[in-house]
């Protein structure tokens, strides 16, 4: 079927709407996130420190690795529900760290799950440096 001009117009409108909603899908990248949190911390992220933070169990007997695996370069399983979780390291999953709102939301939630508080700027820089250091 040849797409009607009306459906074409609708498609164009839908795309324009998507692009015009920066709060809903503001694009970002792992490298941009690292840069942002390094600037906020005033120091470069350290992969080794990030690795320790990522794999150490905190007060709730959970670490980031409990759900994301260690290293988080392959699909893993959620610690309590068993649901498949796609790889977290950006070199192994191009979708990771591409949506600002999603990044903010999950960092907030997961830091609270593991550490019972939000993570600091240096901690976020370290973890991003660690995740970016993982290569195929």
Q: How far is CA 97 from CA 31, 81, 91, in A?
A: 9, 23, 11
Could you say whether residue 112 binds other proteins (CB under 8 A)?
yes
User: Taking contact as CB under 8 A, which single stretch among the options 8-16, 38-46, 68-76, 120-128 is the one that binds other proteins?
Assistant: 8-16
Closest CA to 30 of 133, 136, 128: 128
Instruction: State yes or no: residue 59 binds other proteins (CB under 8 A).
Output: no
In the complex with other proteins, the residue whose CB is nearer, 5 or 94, is 94
* Whole-angstrom distance, CA of residue 126 vs CA of residue 107: 13
Among 8, 25, 39, 48, binds other proteins (CB under 8 A): 25
57 versus 108: smaller Cβ distance to other proteins: 108
Q: How far apart are CA 72 and CA 51, in angstroms?
A: 10
Q: Which residues bind to other proteins, rule: CB under 8 A?
A: 11, 14-15, 18-19, 25, 27, 29, 67, 77-78, 80-84, 98, 105-106, 108-110, 112-113
């Amino acid at each position: 079927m040849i797409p009607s001009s009306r459906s074409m117009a609708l498609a164009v409108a839908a795309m324009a709407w998507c692009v015009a909603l920066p709060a809903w899908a503001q694009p970002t990248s792992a490298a941009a996130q690292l840069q942002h949190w390094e600037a906020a911390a005033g120091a470069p992220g350290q992969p080794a420190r990030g690795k320790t933070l990522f794999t150490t169990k905190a007060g709730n007997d959970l670490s980031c690795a409990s759900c994301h695996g260690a290293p988080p370069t392959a699909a893993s399983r959620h610690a309590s529900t068993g649901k498949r979780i796609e790889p977290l390291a950006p070199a192994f999953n191009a979708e990771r760290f591409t949506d600002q709102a999603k990044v903010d939301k999950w960092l907030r939630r997961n830091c609270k799950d593991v550490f019972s508080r939000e993570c600091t700027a240096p901690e976020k820089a370290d973890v991003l440096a660690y995740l970016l250091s993982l290569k195929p």
